[in-house]
């Protein structure tokens, strides 16, 4: 039995795909290992700073957020107190936390696995510093990792070419989808009876998801469509104002962040799913929508394109193209039925159990814990977790 530290800037109930990936992995690994999640208090609501549930211990450190970057000075203390033999699994999509972990690991002579979820873009007044940070700090953290887990082969090639990480240290570990999201394709929706198509978005209301693009597209849509926005974030107020300004009125519902049974119900009630992002790693919400047998429409951008191509519809990342694709979905019941079947079939190739097994294989290969089956760097995922 190993001690595994999953280190992440945020953790549920904080909303976001990375948070739920860490949560799923922690709970899948807990029956076989001592799993500790080291994270921050940001977005934790009323959650205690130390809690154990279902075999997973979560330690939250007080933090503040500056320019979308979590700052938790006390977090390295948890790393220093952990056994030197612990598996250090760092989840990355934000600045500074990777450097804290890498520095702590170096001081202890400890190796770490860096799980690369997304290469973020610059935003806000400090955004001009991001390229310098990536080149001179984050790149060193990536190259200093014993291994880098990426979500797709394309992302692995990006990490190799951009950050000069040796190919033999890159492992493909896709995201998965929980069994609770799987649903049978539904019969003809209310849209066939003259009622609006029920379109669903699930995600954090931040710059990367670009819900503003979706609202502009909806104002151009000719078919009867209603959009439900399930998510919360720093841009919610601006998006509500934009919807009012565009005269969308009752055509858009801002449902707030949904979890558990409420989120499952949102997928069950929808007719189609849409993701208007600027970029993605491997969008968890798309996998969930596919499992729920929903037709999927996404912008043709890195991360989404690899997952959706050949399964759903892809549109250029601009409002007119997105509007045309929504009109196509709303006006063609046969197309929606075909895409729903493709979604359901594709989702069956993913499971969190298989993804956790893949992660354990990477641990074996990287941390010298030999097992009969160790993965090949940058190889595809095992059966049941294709990437």
Domain positions in the chain: 3-176+351-367, 179-347
Average pLDDT, the chain: 89
Is the pTM higher than 0.85? The answer reads no
Pick the CATH number of 179-347 from 3.40.630.30, 1.10.760.10, 3.40.50.2000, 1.20.1440.230: 3.40.50.2000
Of the two residues 125 and 327, the one the predictor is more confident about is 327
Is the predicted pLDDT of residue 243 greater than 90, yes or no?
Answer: yes
Is the predicted pLDDT of residue 373 greater than 70, yes or no?
Answer: no
pLDDT at 58: 97
What's the whole-number mean pLDDT along residues 206-229? 96
Q: How confident is the model at residue 69 (pLDDT cuts 50, 70, 90)?
A: confident
Q: What is the pLDDT of residues 28-37, one digit of tens each?
A: 999 999 999 9
- Across 1-5, 183-187, 319-323, the highest mean pLDDT is recorded for 319-323
3-state secondary structure the chain: CCEEEEECCCCCCCCCHHHHHHHHHHHHHCCCCEEEEEEECCCCCCCCCEEEECCEEEEEECCEEECCEEECCCHHHHHHHCCCCCEEEEEECCCCHHHHHHHHHHHHCCCCEEEECCCCCCCCCCHHHHHHHHHHHHHHHHHHCCEEEECCHHHHHHHHHHHCCCHHHEEECCCCCCHHHCCCCCCCCHHHHCCCEEEEEECCCCHHHCHHHHHHHHHHCCCCEEEEEECCCCCHHHHHHHHHHCCCHHHEEEEECCCHHHHHHHHHHCCEEEECCCCCCCCHHHHHHHHCCCCEEEECCCCHHHHHCCCCEEECCCHHHHHHHHHHHHHCHHHHHHHHHHHHHHHCCCCHHHHHHHHHHHHHHHHCCCCCCCCCCCCCCCCCCCC
pLDDT at 386: 32
Is CATH 3.60.15.10 the classification given to domain 3-176+351-367? Answer: no
Nearest alpha carbon to residue 84 among 61, 107, 103: 107
pLDDT at 384: 34
Angstrom distance (rounded) from CA 177 to CA 296: 15
pLDDT at 95: 80
Contacts of 101 (CB under 8 A, 6+ apart): 7, 76, 79, 88, 90, 112, 141
Is the predicted pLDDT of residue 372 greater than 50, yes or no?
Answer: no
Is the predicted pLDDT of residue 151 greater than 80, yes or no?
Answer: yes
- Across 10-19, 27-36, 128-137, the highest mean pLDDT is recorded for 27-36
Q: What is the pLDDT of residues 278-310, one digit of tens each?
A: 999 899 999 999 999 999 999 999 989 999 999
Of the two residues 18 and 319, the one the predictor is more confident about is 319
Q: Do domains 3-176+351-367 and 179-347 have the same CATH topology?
A: yes
pLDDT at 382: 37
pLDDT at 329: 96
pLDDT at 311: 97
Is the predicted pLDDT of residue 276 greater than 70, yes or no?
Answer: yes
């Amino acid at each position: 039995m190993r001690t595994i530290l999953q280190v992440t800037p945020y953790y549920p109930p904080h909303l976001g795909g990375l948070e739920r990936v860490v949560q799923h992995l922690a709970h899948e690994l807990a029956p076989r290992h001592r799993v500790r999640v080291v994270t921050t208090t940001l977005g934790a609501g009323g959650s205690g700073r130390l809690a154990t549930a279902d075999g997973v211990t979560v330690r939250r450190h007080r933090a503040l957020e500056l320019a979308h970057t979590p700052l938790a000075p006390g977090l390295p203390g948890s790393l220093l107190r952990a056994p030197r033999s612990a598996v250090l699994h760092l989840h990355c999509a934000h600045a500074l936390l990777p450097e804290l972990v890498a520095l702590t690991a170096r001081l202890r002579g400890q190796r770490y696995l860096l799980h690369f979820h997304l290469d973020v873009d610059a935003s806000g007044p400090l955004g001009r510093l991001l390229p310098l940070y990536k080149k001179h700090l984050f790149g060193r953290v990536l190259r200093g990792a014993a291994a880098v887990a990426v979500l797709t082969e394309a992302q692995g090639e990006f990490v190799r070419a951009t950050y000069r990480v040796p190919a033999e240290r890159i492992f493909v570990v896709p995201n998965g989808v929980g069994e609770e999201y799987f649903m049978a394709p539904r019969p003809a929706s209310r849209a066939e009876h003259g009622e609006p198509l029920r379109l669903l978005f699930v995600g954090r209301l931040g710059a990367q998801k670009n819900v503003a693009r979706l609202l502009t597209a909806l104002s151009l849509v000719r078919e009867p469509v209603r959009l439900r926005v399930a998510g919360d974030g720093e841009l919610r107020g601006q998006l509500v104002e934009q919807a009012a300004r565009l005269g969308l009125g009752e055509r858009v519902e801002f449902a707030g962040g949904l979890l558990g049974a409420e989120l499952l119900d949102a997928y069950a009630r929808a007719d189609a799913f849409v993701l208007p992002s600027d970029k993605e790693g491997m969008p968890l919400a798309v996998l969930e929508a596919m499992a729920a047998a929903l037709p999927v429409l996404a912008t043709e951008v890195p991360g989404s394109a690899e997952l959706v191509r050949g399964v759903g519809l892809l549109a250029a990342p601009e409002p007119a193209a997105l509007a045309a694709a929504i009109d196509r979905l709303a006006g063609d019941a046969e197309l929606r039925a075909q895409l729903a079947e493709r979604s359901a079939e594709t989702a069956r190739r993913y499971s969190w159990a298989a993804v956790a097994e893949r992660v354990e294989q990477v641990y074996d290969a990287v941390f010298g814990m030999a097992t009969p089956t160790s993965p090949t760097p940058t190889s595809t995922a095992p059966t049941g977790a294709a990437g």
